Amino acid sequence: MYNFKGLTVVPSSSDFVNIVLSKTQRKTPTVIHKNYEISRIRKFYTRKVKFTQKSIHDRLTELLENFPRMDDIHPFYGDLMNVLYDKDHYKVALGQISATRHIVDSIGRDYVRLLKYGDSMYRCKQVKRAGLGRMAATLRKLGPTLSYLEQVRQHMSRLPSIDPNSRTLLVCGFPNVGKSSFLNKVSRADVEVQPYAFTTKSLYVGHTEYDYSTWQVIDTPGILDHSLENRNVIEMQSITALAHLDACILYFMDLSGECGYSVEAQVSLFQSIQPLFVGKPLVVVLNKSDLCNRESLSPADQELVQRMADFIGSQNMMIEISTLIDEAVGTLKESACKLLLQHRSQQSKNSQISASGELFCALPKGRDTIARPVSIPESVQHEIITGKVPPKVFTEKDIEERMGGPGVYFPSLEKHYLLEDEEWKCDVVPEILDGMNVFDYASPDIEQKLLEIELEQEQQVQKNANAVKKPSIKEDAQTKLALEVVQSQLAIRKMENMINKRRNVKKTKAMQVAIEKHQSGIGKSNVKVPSRKRTRGDMAEAALESERLLSISGGVKSVGFSKAGMTRTSAVTRGEGFRDMDQKIHAAKLMRLGARKWSNDGRKGEGDHSVPDMMPKHLYVGKMTVGKRRSR
């Protein structure tokens, strides 16, 4: 079974050059400098030339291996390709591909040799350029050849999958006699059927089932009655199938004459292609019996049909059918399949090659003349002579079946131990730990002793717990006073924390509404609720009130709100390292001056030593390719 649908696509000459050169650019290094060592420069350009030559060689070799060789495939496909594509043209095209591959290999060798004498980067580059240019020019000359092979590949991928060795029914005859209609009836093939000649222009394959096997049904284009030299490509496909396929031939005839050809012309065609039917089962099919049957023919036509029936003999048959009304279509299929099976069976019987010829029988050769008779022990000979049969030895398997089967009977392994005393077999195997028998150190009353030790330990623990006494604390008046002071200070701190927390609570509108509702309930609806927020007017009124009180009492005027609210510098505490308050203020001023440099540099503090990468390498390294420039 040949699969021509997996052939590799053949590119055009220009595409071929672009594929090879772009692959060279992608797969090889691209950066070289003139100040490198000359050996490194030569190696750089030598690699370019060798890689290009190898890429072209591999690509052309793949093309040559994919396309089938006409001399190696089945003769049916070989002749079919000769009819469709011209065998000479096909071989010349593959030969040109092979010659081009050889030329490219020689160009690569020559220019690699020239690169060894390059004394500068410029000369090496020019040699490389010349070598790749010659290879590309050689590939461009393959333009017509590659175009032809691509057309051949496309047509071969559309060829039907025909197995030349499978069971096959081959339909042939004049154009428009009902061949395609029969194929559509017996298989799922949907072949176009039209009332004009040469609707079918190539081979079509359908598959049907008979006797639990799959059969091929091949529909061939119509054949005209003229010489072989005058037949076109469409007709030669049918001739090729008839010549090479070992199938049952179904020769279709149209007795009604609607196909445009008389009965005499159809009989003449049968006689002209009759040499192609030799050695194959044949069925003559008289189609369109619903329009004209054999009895309604003229006497001359009946005589021609009868002469044809006598010619095909009793081994073959002639059947009248009608594909339009499905008359005798199933009978024709079964009869043709039986004929082919009988023919193949007879061929295998008459074949000179038998299955025994494929086997090799090896006969050993004696190495000497010494007689080596069969050796039988004397005990066995005695038993044979006396007729005494030794008692049967029951195995564990027999005992297991007798005692209930697996899962019920468990065999004893101890009975097969080989010991000095048979009574030792059932003894318990001692447990050995560190080379000593554990049972030698076991005490019979060890459990009782363990319980006594645990009870004694519990009693000792209880005794120790009762002996422990709490230490007495001698409280004096001074200790009590200090304790009261500490407790009072803790209570004051808790109270201050609670007041501070309540002070920061943000009153919402819902809380204000709830307060007003509560006051109205207790009869204080006209009392104005003091606002938590202090305005400028409130502050002025408070200042005037304080001055009025001071004038009455004669006291000293207090500090204003603006001065009282200012943050005062805290005093110097022990451990800060400052001599006095002036030194602390001066140090704070110096710290603010030093922080200006950090803020100007955009640093977080004196510990921020990060150096950001303003131009990331992955965004600014490489060539400018086709695409967006948003990262540049």
Q: What is the pLDDT of residue 555?
A: 46
Question: C-alpha dihedral over 378, 384, 389, 392, to 10 degrees?
Answer: 60
Which whole number is the average pLDDT over 581-607? 87
Cβ atoms within 10 Å, residue 232: 12
Positions of CATH 1.20.120.1190 in the chain: 4-155
Q: What is the pLDDT of residue 562?
A: 45
Task: Using pLDDT thresholds of 50, 70 and 90, give the confidence band for residue 534.
Answer: low
Would you say residue 631 has pLDDT above 80? no
Q: What is the pLDDT of residue 383?
A: 83
String of b and e for 1-10 (b: at least 16 CB within 10 Å)?
A: eeebeebeeb
Q: Per DSSP, what are the bridge partners of residue 26?
A: none
What are the CA-CA distances from residue 483 to residues 487, 494, 596 (Å)? 6, 17, 52
Q: Hey, what amino acid is at 245?
A: L
The answer to whether 46 and 115 are in contact (CB under 8 A) is yes
Q: Which among 79, 85, 245, 57 is positioned nearest to 150, based on CA atoms?
A: 85
Q: What is the pLDDT of residue 11?
A: 94
Specify the 3-state DSSP secondary structure of 199: coil
Cβ atoms within 10 Å, residue 622: 8
Which whole number is the average pLDDT over 494-523? 71
The domain over range 162-347 is classified in CATH as 3.40.350.10:
no
Phi first, then psi, for residue 322 (nearest 5°) are: -145, 110
Would you say residue 545 has pLDDT above 70? no
Lowest-pLDDT range of 416-430, 497-511, 598-612: 497-511
Cβ atoms within 10 Å, residue 205: 18
Higher pLDDT, 444 or 545: 444
Task: Using pLDDT thresholds of 50, 70 and 90, give the confidence band for residue 558.
Answer: very low
Which whole number is the average pLDDT over 248-256? 89
Q: Are strands 436-437 and 432-433 parallel, antiparallel or unpaired?
A: antiparallel
Q: What is the pLDDT of residue 104?
A: 96
Q: What is the pLDDT of residue 561?
A: 43
Topology annotation, domain 4-155? Four Helix Bundle (Hemerythrin (Met), subunit A) (1.20.120)
Name the one residue in this structure whose structure tokens are 């090879």. 20
Tens of pLDDT along 277-310?
Answer: 888 899 998 888 888 888 888 888 888 888 888 8
Would you say residue 107 has pLDDT above 90? yes
Would you say residue 560 has pLDDT above 50? no
* Percentage of the chain exceeding pLDDT 90: 29
Task: Using pLDDT thresholds of 50, 70 and 90, give the confidence band for residue 567.
Answer: very low
Mean pLDDT (the chain) is: 84
The answer to whether 239 and 206 are in contact (CB under 8 A) is no
Lookup: tokens for 617: 């390498």
Which whole number is the average pLDDT over 192-218? 88
Distance of alpha carbon 298 from the chain centroid:
69
Q: Which residues make Cβ contacts (< 8 Å) with residue 223, sequence separation at least 6?
A: 172, 173, 174, 175, 231, 235, 238, 239, 269, 273
Lowest-pLDDT range of 115-124, 142-151, 237-246, 506-515: 506-515
Lowest-pLDDT range of 189-198, 394-403, 618-627: 618-627
Lookup: tokens for 387: 């007729």
Lookup: tokens for 262: 């008389």
Phi first, then psi, for residue 98 (nearest 5°) are: -65, -40
Tens of pLDDT along 18-46?
Answer: 999 999 999 999 999 999 999 999 999 99
How would you class 327 by CB atoms within 10 Å of its CB: exposed for 0-12, middle for 13-18, buried for 19 or more? middle
Specify the 3-state DSSP secondary structure of 264: helix
Would you say residue 571 has pLDDT above 80? no
Which whole number is the average pLDDT over 326-348? 88
Q: Which among 304, 329, 308 is positioned nearest to 317, based on CA atoms?
A: 308
Q: What is the pLDDT of residue 509?
A: 65
Provide the residue count of the chain.
Answer: 632
Task: Using pLDDT thresholds of 50, 70 and 90, give the confidence band for residue 466.
Answer: confident
Higher pLDDT, 246 or 316: 246
Q: What is the pLDDT of residue 263?
A: 87
Q: What is the SS3 assignment for 28-41?
A: CCCCCCCCCCHHHH
- Does the predicted TM-score (pTM) go above 0.85? no
Positions of CATH 3.40.50.300 in the chain: 162-347
Would you say residue 447 has pLDDT above 50? yes
Name the one residue in this structure whose structure tokens are 């009353």. 445
Helix H or strand E segment including 282: strand 282-287
Which whole number is the average pLDDT over 80-107? 94
Task: Using pLDDT thresholds of 50, 70 and 90, give the confidence band for residue 614.
Answer: confident
Q: Residue 409 carries which DSSP code?
A: B
Would you say residue 566 has pLDDT above 50? no
Tens of pLDDT along 138-175?
Answer: 999 999 999 999 999 999 998 888 899 889 999 999 88
Q: Which residues make Cβ contacts (< 8 Å) with residue 145, sequence separation at least 6?
A: 93, 96, 97
Q: What is the pLDDT of residue 523?
A: 61
